[in-house]
Amino acid sequence: MGTALRNALTCLLLLSVLAFTACSRGDATADPDQAKSAAADSTVADSAAVAKSDSGKQKKGGGFLQKIFKRGDDDEEKEEPPVPVELTDVSRRDVPYYVAATATLEAEKRATILAKIAGEIREIRVEEGDYVKEGQLLARTDGRAQAVALEESRARLRGLELDFERVTTLFEQDLVSTKEMNDARARYEEATAQLKASELNHSYTYIRAPFSGTISLRSIDPGQNVQVGTELFSIVDFDPLLARVHLPEHVAASIALGQRVVITPDTGDTLTYEGKVMLVSPVVDTRTGTVKVTCMIDGNNELLKPGSFVRVKLQTDMHPDVLVVPTNAIVAEGDESYVYRAQADTVVKVLVATGYTDDLFIEVSDGVSEGDRIVTVGQGALRAGAKFEDIHAKKAEEEGVADSDSAGADGEGADGEEADGEGADGEEADGEEADGEEADGEDGREVAGSTTNGNG
């Protein structure tokens, strides 16, 4: 009974399907508008299904916008790469205190050479920039008139000298009076003085250097007529050079003669030169309240010349054995100074108090201790808590790895050569064995021959 009922229901279901199919085909053939409406209804149903499916996906995956925001959150959560920096240790050293001033270098000896006699310039033997020694001839004027006057003075002196000798002989014989003797002596002495004056005038026709130095200016030309007092040359002695600075009275009180000074040319050059205090004025300038201090420096240098603008530093105090860091480790923010101190693999921004500085190192206190590792290069990319990477440590590690790889390659090469050597030894041994077999063959033939001869 149950089996028959199931079979009946199955047949009824199949008939219903066939009837629905036939009706659908008939409706499509009979009324096309109804078919289009049915297709539209089907499209709407499909769109609703797709929307429902997308809604389910959004509920499941979070939607497109949610994925974008989530991706941004993931990027923020990614760890920032370490900042490459250079580190150094906080150390101890003596830090001097300098007072700085500016000055213009001057030559200790400089002079303008003037004409001492009128005449025409006949010869010039030096040019600007030439180094000359004391007494060296620089130029010569026309001295023919002075030479004639000199010869005239010499001739007159010879005549008066003979006359004086004759009167002296007669005076000894009481043949002339004392007055005649004195007059002859006076004429002779006058002629002698006249000869010296003529020699001096003649020497003025030769212009010579008053001291050793360098010709800084030539103001005459050959053939030029000069008068007494005309400027001819300027000469400067570059060694030593002087720098005169004016310091406040309380600062000058701590300056001593012979004290070391540091002089830096204002030419953008980082070179410094040492000098010493030569003079300290014993009076105070009433207009400015300063004391003039004269510093001396060796002038045998091409960068230091008279007239050069220089910066002068004089040490006035010293802080011994204090904590210092390189000056480039300091990060200034307003009136405060900071350093980045390494702590494990991150940095800590530390407020420090600064003191004396000597351009290379600066005194620090409050915040750091001796041996602390601080950042000297790369502070611009750092912030408190940022991770860092020591450039020097990384470079040393890479060089160590390269050295180990090189050593390994050398070891493999040595092993290969050893193996080649063993192979060569093996081949040599094989050759010796072959030679031995050949020798055995020859010995066998020789024995056989001997036997044959014996049997014969």
Q: Span 56-62, mean pLDDT?
A: 44
- Which pLDDT tens digit goes with each residue over 417-432? 444 444 444 444 444 4
- Which pLDDT tens digit goes with each residue over 147-188? 999 999 999 999 999 999 999 999 998 888 999 999 999 999
> Tokens in use for 31?
């009324």
pLDDT of residue 174: 87
377-383 own/partner pairs: CB under 8 Å, 24+ apart: 377/85, 377/86, 377/328, 378/83, 378/84, 378/85, 378/86, 379/85, 379/329, 379/331, 379/340, 381/83, 382/83, 382/85, 382/340, 382/347, 383/349
In a domain, 284, yes or no: yes
Q: Which residues of 239-260 are buried (b: 16+ CB within 10 A; e: fewer)?
A: bbbbbbbbbeeeebeebeeebe
Q: Output the CA–CA distances (angstroms, integers) from residue 295 to 8, 212, 271, 311, 364, in the order listed.
A: 131, 22, 18, 12, 31
Please provide residue 406's backbone torsions phi and psi, each rounded to the nearest 5 degrees. Answer: -65, -40
CATH number at residue 269: 2.40.30.170
pLDDT of residue 272: 84
Please provide residue 154's backbone torsions phi and psi, each rounded to the nearest 5 degrees. Answer: -65, -45
Higher pLDDT, 21 or 304: 304
Give the distance from CA 41 to its chain's centroid.
85
Boundaries of domain holding 294: 237-318
Q: With cut-offs at 50, 70 and 90, classify the pLDDT of residue 31.
A: very low
Residues 198 and 241 grouped into a single domain: no
pLDDT of residue 402: 58
In a domain, 164, yes or no: yes
Residues 245 and 309 grouped into a single domain: yes
Q: Are 303 and 267 in contact (CB under 8 A)?
A: yes
pLDDT of residue 306: 87
pLDDT of residue 169: 92
Question: Whole-model pTM?
Answer: 0.53
Single out the residue in 318, 337, 361 at which a domain terminates.
Answer: 318
Number of domains in the chain: 2
Q: With cut-offs at 50, 70 and 90, classify the pLDDT of residue 454.
A: very low
> Tokens in use for 45?
């149903």
Q: With cut-offs at 50, 70 and 90, classify the pLDDT of residue 382.
A: confident
Q: With cut-offs at 50, 70 and 90, classify the pLDDT of residue 20.
A: low
Please provide residue 316's backbone torsions phi and psi, each rounded to the nearest 5 degrees. Answer: -120, -10
Residues 185 and 245 grouped into a single domain: no
In a domain, 194, yes or no: yes
> What is the residue-averaged pLDDT of the chain?
78
Residues 304 and 248 grouped into a single domain: yes
**pLDDT > 50? residue 456:** no
CA pair distance 136, 134, nearest whole angstrom: 6
Residue whose pair of structure tokens reads 């993931």 in the numeric block: 74
Burial class from Cβ neighbours inside 10 Å (0-12, 13-18, 19+) for residue 78 reads: exposed
pLDDT of residue 408: 57
Q: Are 368 and 333 in contact (CB under 8 A)?
A: no
> Tokens in use for 87?
């580190």
Of 92-96, 229-233, 410-414, the one with minimum mean pLDDT is 410-414
